Structure 1
Amino acid sequence: MQKIIIDRPYRFVPPHRGNRIPAFLEAIRAIDWYLYWFEGIHTYELRNVERLRTSLRAQRSIILAPNHCRYADPIAMGWLARAAGVYLFTVASWHLFNQNWLQSLAIRLCGGFSIYREGADKQSLDTAVEILVQASRPLVIFPEGTVYHTNDRLHPLLEGVSFVARTATRRRQKAGGTPVLIHPVAIKYVYRGDLQSALEPEVLEIERRLSWEDHFAGRDLLERILRVGEALFSLREIEYTGATHCGQLSARQQALIERLLAPLENHYLRRTWPDQPVIHRIKQLRAKIVPLWREARGAARVEYWNQIRATYVAQIIDAYDEAYLQRPTQTRVLETLERLQEDLTDKAPVHRPLHCIIEVGEAIEAPPDRLPRDQPDPVMEQLTTALQGMLDQLAAESPAWPTSYQQAMEALRQESADILDRSGG
């Protein structure tokens, strides 16, 4: 399990507001070096930056709302800031400030400030609103709230973007200012090397960890990745239900998520929300469980930690989308393998060379009205539509995989039938 739950009380981390250090980091091209060496991004391009420049020339208050498919995303936004001639403030999950002192310092110096995702964080929200009211720099908020490794598919957005934008708009209008603008930003990564050669040894390593040795070496990589994904999910089923199950993978995933979350929801929240996005359900549960875990000792502390881990496993399962590989591209195959690697080791290796594309969408004006209760938020609907639309267009940038999903699945079905025949079943 990655280090996302921190065993100490939350303390707000404010942003560094000066310009000298960001200017120095920009002068030495720090983000270029970081993204090259630690994220494998060799090249980049920017599209429709003029939309952001137009908003800046009009001295508007701006939120930049990108999709979040890689850990490189917040740093890569620095390329957009460079082209627009501005520095940024960025909302960052508190756990990122608790990995090591150097990372914490770097995030702050680049304009990052913390938000506590396991509970309420009034100070962070107030800081975000104050930044927008002053309109000194654009504010970056990742509305998905976490990294999903599905570059072409947007996951349900958290409503914090709309809440902050509406609140700031009200305050700005009281002072005679203009409404806040939300610019959707689509980030796309394309692998620009021989992906099959790069992934072959990594898939083989996972197969060997599963005690398969070299039995599937030389077979199509998509087929092998699907087999590994099925195996790892089956291990989760055994861990939490005692056995593997039959049926469509998507139905089995949903059943296991309910097995993990519903008992916790009934215990802590007195009801379940099976129709709500999984990330929303997890956020509510962690807000209840994490404080109890921090205070507990002995067996109770172990039990609370197991409950937290159950929410983590549910989040991992939710990130796997069976339909994502039904139209396989190099990007989708790479991301799927990276998710599997993180599931096993909490970390995926760097794959290079990557090419990063950042596209700025048309601005969405935030109204001063409060969030609508018990009905869809028009601002979030517009943001979702705009982001997914740009991602759909950018999906064509990644080359198609040489074999189809149907071919890979047919090979797996045929293999299962052959095994049954050999065993006399």
Structure 2
Amino acid sequence: MRELPQDRPYRFRPPVDRPWLNPLLRWVNRRVFLKWVYNVEAIECHGIEALRSAMDAGDAVVLAPNHADHADVHVLSEVTARIGIRPRFMGAREIFEAGALNSFALQSGGVFSVDRDGADIAAIKMALSILEEGKYPLVIYPEGEIYHHHEWLDPLHDGLASILLKVARKLPAPRRARIFPIAFRFEYDGAVRETFPERIAALEKTINWSPKEDLPMVERLYCLGPALLAAKEMEFFGETEAGTLAERLERLRERLLEDVESRHGKDARAETVPERVRGLRSRIRRALLDPEKKPSPSERARMLDDIRRIHVAYQVYSYPGVYLAEDPDDHRIAETLMKLEEDLLGKATYPVARRARIVFGEPIDVTALLESGALPQKGGALELTALLEDKLGTMVRGGEPQGLSAAERPVIVSAEA
């Protein structure tokens, strides 16, 4: 989980159409990001024909993928481009703040910013206008973060459902409002196994360990995890905890969040860890950037340290402690190593070729649910989110989505084509 700047004023960035730039952007996406950066050599795509039909009908379409990997945005851009569709993406504000060139490319590629920690009215208005127009599908990642365990789905935020319901209730017939659940999975070439020893040795050296070459790979990871956790426990609280790995992860996360909440308060409505994190970041950002009551240097240092504590708590939340143990195959080992590299070394590695599988599930017809009374005419965001979570969760776990035959011939494309 990447640590991003949290002390900059927010400015909304809308998507900007630059048709003359599209061929270059697509070439860069395919040859630079997919092939070179993320090592995706092929894409297997199922069920995309239904998206083409919905867009031809002028429907208000939201694409709701699981956020499996940093490459999934690039994969989705490639497969939709091949059927003549250019989605609009809602992207976290922080990715625009990496520099002017980065922001220019993102906006030209159809991405607009959203402040995930606040009530971003500009982003909501942009999302509503895209859906009302019906010219582009809107991509919103309902998990909100990349947790790097693509065979598990994390709890979904209800913002996607709230936005689409507002449009669905005033959409003129015969147009429909639809959500497409989309499941991503990335599979590694068998050669990835040969990269494991060198990569975990580099991680072990970050804590001044000699490589434990006599141990099996999964055992090495489960030795490294508690050691890294103990270092964080000592750093923040001066003591190590007892218990299983999962218990210690939860305890550290809670201690960090409760410590920061003791200084900045807690939203009574925030129940999940992501909700608590967003609320805390929002309150601290407001205090950091308050023009009428600028914090002193010591207050600023304290708030920046609190933001770091929140980030570590969120990192800890992204390690469930049992994901690898549940099914320690090469794919989960590679995914765990990649996640540790990103968190400890600052950059994930993709040393061997990967294959992306993307499945477009049967769309959820929100208009029909409203007409039938299955969703109430007011509210309904929680119910719709639960329905999406159930369908997308089944797909992510490997089940065939309703309406898609297991024998359906996939569309397989090369990332180089």
TM-score in terms of structure 2 length? 0.87
Residue of structure 1 in register with 2:404 after alignment: none
How far is the alpha carbon of 1:75 from its aligned partner?
A: 1.4
Contact in 2 for aligned 1:265/1:271 (Cα 8 Å): no
Contact in 2 for aligned 1:49/1:83 (Cα 8 Å): no
Count how many residue pairs are aligned between Structure 1 and Structure 2: 387
What letter is aligned with 2:238?
Answer: G
Residue of structure 2 in register with 1:260 after alignment: 256
Percent identical among aligned pairs is: 28
Residues 24, 385 of structure 1: alpha-carbon distance in 2 compared, 3 angstrom cutoff: same
What letter is aligned with 1:59?
Answer: G
Residues 298, 266 of structure 1: alpha-carbon distance in 2 compared, 3 angstrom cutoff: closer
SS in 1 for 2:170: helix
5+ residue gaps, structure 2: 371-376, 401-417
How far is the alpha carbon of 1:177 from its aligned partner?
A: 5.4
1:378 to 373, 383, 400: 383
What letter is aligned with 2:357?
Answer: I
1:202 aligns with 2:210: no
Contact in 2 for aligned 1:162/1:371 (Cα 8 Å): no
Moved more, 149-158 or 333-342: 333-342
Contact in 2 for aligned 1:152/1:392 (Cα 8 Å): yes
- Alpha-carbon separation, structure 1, partners of 2:214 and 2:194: 11
How far is the alpha carbon of 1:87 from its aligned partner?
A: 1.0
Residue of structure 1 in register with 2:220 after alignment: 224
Residue of structure 2 in register with 1:410 after alignment: none
Residue of structure 2 in register with 1:408 after alignment: none
1:100 aligns with 2:96: no
What letter is aligned with 1:222?
Answer: V
Contact in 2 for aligned 1:229/1:340 (Cα 8 Å): no
Contact in 1 for aligned 2:3/2:311 (Cα 8 Å): no
What letter is aligned with 1:196?
Answer: R
Residue of structure 1 in register with 2:61 after alignment: 62
How far is the alpha carbon of 1:272 from its aligned partner?
A: 6.0
Q: Deviation string for 1:3-61 (max 9, x for gaps)?
A: 523432111001013544325534x4743442111111111110111221232232211
Residue of structure 1 in register with 2:151 after alignment: 152
- Alpha-carbon separation, structure 2, partners of 1:351 and 1:91: 29
Contact in 2 for aligned 1:190/1:331 (Cα 8 Å): yes
What letter is aligned with 1:121?
Answer: D
Please provide the CA RMSD for this pair.
2.1
Residue of structure 1 in register with 2:241 after alignment: 245
What letter is aligned with 1:64?
Answer: L
Q: Deviation string for 1:128-169 (max 9, x for gaps)?
A: 000000001111111111111111011111111101101111
What letter is aligned with 2:197?
Answer: E
Residue of structure 1 in register with 2:169 after alignment: 170
Give 1 or 2: higher helix fraction.
1
1:288 to 258, 283, 286: 283
Residue of structure 1 in register with 2:179 after alignment: 182
What letter is aligned with 1:390?
Answer: M
Contact in 1 for aligned 2:70/2:146 (Cα 8 Å): yes
5+ residue gaps, structure 1: 396-425
- Alpha-carbon separation, structure 2, partners of 1:102 and 1:181: 34
Residues 370, 177 of structure 1: alpha-carbon distance in 2 compared, 3 angstrom cutoff: farther
Q: Deviation string for 1:326-385 (max 9, x for gaps)?
A: 21222211111122222212222233211111110111123563434xxx8221111111
Residue of structure 2 in register with 1:279 after alignment: 274
Q: Deviation string for 1:204-232 (max 9, x for gaps)?
A: 11212222213x11421111111111111
SS in 2 for 1:161: helix
1:392 aligns with 2:397: yes
Contact in 1 for aligned 2:266/2:279 (Cα 8 Å): no
Contact in 1 for aligned 2:6/2:285 (Cα 8 Å): no
What are the equivalent positions in structure 2 for 1:343-422 lying under 5 Å apart? Answer: 343-367=343-367, 369-372=377-380, 377-393=382-398
- Alpha-carbon separation, structure 1, partners of 2:39 and 2:102: 18
- Alpha-carbon separation, structure 1, partners of 2:29 and 2:248: 45
TM-score in terms of structure 1 length? 0.86
Moved more, 56-65 or 302-311: 56-65
Moved more, 58-67 or 3-12: 3-12
Contact in 2 for aligned 1:179/1:365 (Cα 8 Å): yes
Contact in 1 for aligned 2:58/2:175 (Cα 8 Å): no
Q: Deviation string for 1:281-325 (max 9, x for gaps)?
A: 101111101121234230000100111111101110000012211
